[in-house]
Amino acid sequence: MNTVLAAIEAVASTSPSAWAAAASVASGVIVGLSLGLTGGGGAIFAVPLLVYGIGVEPRTAVSVSLVTVAVTAAVGAIERWRYGQVELRTGLLFAAAGMLTAPLGGWLGDRIPSQTLLVSFAVLMVVIAVRMWRKAADSTERTASSVFASGVGPTCSRDAEGRLRMTTRCFVLLTLVGLVVGLLSGLFGVGGGFLIVPALVAFATMDVLRAVGTSLFVMTLVGVSAVASQWAAGRPIPLDIAGSFVAGSVPALFVGSMVGRRLGGPTLARVFALAIVLVAIFIIAKTVFGW
């Protein structure tokens, strides 16, 4: 009995940093799985997990989330590039626009109270979840990665060889989406895949697999820009927590991708949407009502 008690005391006396590292890895697994399953939107869980699961300050959580998104997306983009599922020219347009507004999002985040930032983040989560649920109900043929796609016709067209015709209207629309993605990335630490994937599918006549690969490429570049702006602004980025988070998210990304290919898209999207709403409710309950 004394031996058992001694073992329990030894575990309880483990350094807080070790517990934080373990919690970071576990949280990273959740983010990586959701990214792999949905192709975009999984990073929406990163900030709540960091704030309420590990106890990281909200603004620091945004910085850690950005590091995780950038690294995990880069790994995913490299994998899909090997299979020809990344459209570099279109991705660079998105990324260039997003890299312009990512620092602005970080600047705004420094000037918004933490409570307001978290509540605004929860509202964004609800908007994403509602849109995902509605589009999942439109057709049983949709995959999880295209459940956000609008029913409007394509704004951009392609030539006989499948290359995108960059008309003025196409350029303006894709640039606007990129600007919004960058702003949200810098402000909330999200990757923006929930906007990029549907825009590429609905407006750029891109197939889902290529849209997801291109989205990961964009998320990598925009994430790097956002992290650089956070660093330049002197915002702390605990590399130990970020490293543990990434260590969990990268392997889980591949597992999520394999599982996602075997599950029905609409069902998966509904489950994901419900999970987002529950997390949003939890954030509001904790932040506003102090539960």
pLDDT of residue 253: 85
Mean pLDDT of all residues in 202-209: 74
pLDDT of residue 42: 64
**Residue 14 belongs to a domain:** no
pLDDT of residue 229: 83
**Residue 7 belongs to a domain:** no
pLDDT of residue 109: 81
CA distance 45 to 184: 14
**Residue 271 belongs to a domain:** yes
Task: Report how many domains make up the chain.
Answer: 1
pLDDT of residue 137: 63
pTM over 0.85, yes/no: no
Residue 122 has pLDDT above 80, yes or no: yes
**Residue 4 belongs to a domain:** no
Give how far Cα 18 sits from Cα of 15, 57, 177, 276, Å: 5, 18, 40, 28
Domain interval for residue 261: 19-288
- pLDDT band per the 50, 70, 90 thresholds, residue 160: confident
**Residue 209 belongs to a domain:** yes
CA distance 31 to 252: 8
pLDDT of residue 14: 42
**Residue 107 belongs to a domain:** yes
Mean pLDDT of all residues in 152-164: 68
- pLDDT band per the 50, 70, 90 thresholds, residue 155: low
Residue 139 has pLDDT above 70, yes or no: no
**What is the phi/psi pair of residue 158, to 5°?**
-130, 155
Mean pLDDT of all residues in 221-226: 86
b/e 3-41 (16+ beta carbons within 10 angstroms → b):
eeeeeeeeeeeeeeeeebbebbbbbbbbbbbbbbbbbbb
**What is the phi/psi pair of residue 272, to 5°?**
-65, -40
pLDDT of residue 263: 66
- pLDDT band per the 50, 70, 90 thresholds, residue 152: very low
pLDDT of residue 203: 73
> Please, what is the average pLDDT of the chain?
76
Residue 246 has pLDDT above 70, yes or no: yes
pLDDT of residue 261: 66
**Residue 84 belongs to a domain:** yes
pLDDT of residue 146: 40
pLDDT of residue 30: 84
pLDDT tens digits along 165-184: 778 888 888 888 889 888 88
**Residue 204 belongs to a domain:** yes
More confident: 72 or 4: 72
Residue 2 has pLDDT above 70, yes or no: no
pLDDT tens digits along 55-99: 888 888 888 888 888 888 898 889 888 888 898 888 898 889 888
Q: What is the distance in angstroms between the CA of the first residue and the CA of the last residue of the chain?
A: 38
Mean pLDDT of all residues in 108-126: 83
pLDDT of residue 19: 67
Q: What percent of the chain has pLDDT over 90?
A: 0
